[in-house]
Amino acid sequence: MSYDTHKTWLYRLEGRYIHLWQYIQGAATTTLGDYKIRLPGEYYGNQLIYPNEDITDGLRVEYTALIEPFVGDAWEDLTARISGTSFIFQDTSTAIYTGSSNLDFAATGKRINFESGEIDTSIAFYDGQSIVVSGTSSNNGTFTVAGGGVNTNQLIVTETVVTEANTSGVIKSATGAILGGTAGTNTFTDFLAADKIRVNGSASNDGDYTVSSIPSNGDALVVSSAPSAVEAAGESITIYQIPAEDATPDETNHVNLNRLLSLSVVDYLKAQLADMQGNVQMKEYYMREFWKKVGDNESNKRKISMTFPTAPFAVR
């Protein structure tokens, strides 16, 4: 224990309340309401006190709120997860492509052709993508990239286009999306429409999203709320599925906890019910079960390894 004990804080949870205590080694310390607790087995100078109202060094309390208390899946069942450095984020306001007299439209085959080396279409677009074209003479509008329509320096679309050569133009995405890299790599095939996902490690787009749809080849996640900013590949990003809230929960839903903590909640409720019925023995039994499960859950988070030196002539 450091001598600097005025910076040592302890807490106790009681229901939805958190009780804060300050550890001191001076019996003469002025306290809020002169209330002190002597620690068992300690001399009078070691005490827990209520913190005073003037915490000059600041006190930061962090906690997790269950914004989504009831979910349709247990955490253990959410296995869709992927990490990498090839993810690209697209919004609906920033141009994917801006060209000056280098864009060609071909009515035959419904093709949009780019100048060689001008843009890597296999990374910037995906099958099924809805794109908005502007700045052309005859082909402004919304188009859909056909299945198998992402080719080298070319897009094939499902709508009719008018033959037009050497025109300028701007192409934007009509939907916010997270791209997985080169087309045809089936990056997101473990995810499904309506999944809720969490993004970590990006430069500008960390957060939670809901998947609206996934192209048939799994090259992108189309999300219901567009990413905050356009972001090129390069960051080490992890995308994984998280539970989606159920606004009308029933007996098939889960509390937004893992399976072990959900069972501990059941024990806690049984303990409170026994307490209401005046059955102290049963209450204590279920509270022991509650804390046992909570303790097991915490211990499951800790992986401890032990290493022992082996003597040169040791026999195993």
DSSP-derived secondary structure for 174-230 = SS-EEE-SSTTS-TTTT--TT-EEEEES-SS--EEEEEEE--TT--EEEESS--SS-
The rounded mean pLDDT for the chain is 80
Counting every residue written for the chain, the total comes to 316
Contact criterion met (CB below 8 Å) for 120 and 96: no
Determine contact, residues 97/124, Cβ cutoff 8 Å: yes
pLDDT, residue 303, reads 54
Closest CA to 175 of 222, 238, 133: 222
Task: Dig out the tokens for 240 from the structure.
Answer: 């994984």
Strands 220-223 and 177-179 turn out to be antiparallel
In the DSSP assignment, the letter for residue 10 is E
The ranges assigned to domains in the chain are 5-49, 75-88+180-242, 94-174, 257-300
Contact 161, 131 (CB under 8 A): no
Lookup: tokens for 212? 């609206």
DSSP three-state, residue 291: helix
Instruction: Quick: pLDDT tens for 206-261.
Output: 999 999 998 877 889 999 888 988 999 899 999 999 888 777 878 777 777 777 88
Measured CA to CA in angstroms, residue 75 lies from 182, 200, 259, 300 at distances of: 30, 17, 8, 15
Cβ count near 134 (within 10 Å): 12
Do the Cβ atoms of 239 and 197 come closer than 8 Å? yes
Q: What pTM was computed for the model?
A: 0.62
CATH for the 94-174 domain, from 3.30.1370, 2.40.30, 2.60.40, 1.10.15 = 2.40.30
Q: What is the model's pLDDT at position 12?
A: 67
CA distances from 111 to 119, 161, 170, 243 (A): 15, 8, 16, 41
First to last CA, the chain: 40
Q: List, for the chain, all residue ranges whose pLDDT scores fall below the cut of 50.
A: 1-4, 29-35, 37, 39, 305, 308, 310, 313-316
Judge contact between 242 and 198, C-beta under 8 A. yes
Pairwise CA distance, residues 285 & 235, whole Å: 50
Dist CA 232 CA 124 (whole Å): 10
The answer to whether the CB of 87 falls within 8 A of the CB of 239 is: yes
Residue that has been written with the tokens 């958190």 in this structure: 18
Closest CA to 126 of 181, 164, 163: 181
**DSSP helix/strand/coil, 6:** helix
